[in-house]
Amino acid sequence: MKTQFHFITKLSLQIILVALMGATALAGTGKPNIIYIMTDDLGYGDLGCYGQQRIKTPKIDQLAEQGMRFSQFYAGSTVCAPSRCVLMTG
């Protein structure tokens, strides 16, 4: 009888411990902040974060420093309106 009690107690403690570990792991995860900037007639080298020296873009450069930069992007079309439609409809 004592061994069954000890087994149930140990099993209960392990289940509680695993549940608490899972709860703390989930508490730290949140939705990421995503800012998608779509511009027309902007070339790869037109921003300071991609090497432009003459045109100053301090706020976009700050966003690029703190976040993620992409170096390849493929547009759905060469003009603005169809590209926006592709973005919105998939």
pLDDT at 54: 92
Enter the pTM of the model.
0.51
Alpha helix stretches (DSSP H) within 28-74: 58-66
Higher-confidence position of 79 and 24 = 79
Are residues 64 and 49 in contact, defined by beta-carbon separation less than 8 angstroms? yes
In this structure, what DSSP letter does residue 72 have? -
pLDDT at 30 over 80: no
Q: For the chain, what are the domain ranges?
A: 1-30, 31-90
The first and second tokens of residue 63, run together, are 């966003």
- CB neighbour list of residue 72: distance below 8 Å, 6 or more residues apart: none
The first and second tokens of residue 6, run together, are 């000890």
pLDDT at 58: 92
Within a 13 Å sphere around the CA of 64, how many CA atoms are in the beta-carbon half?
14
Query: Letter for the amino acid at 89?
Result: T
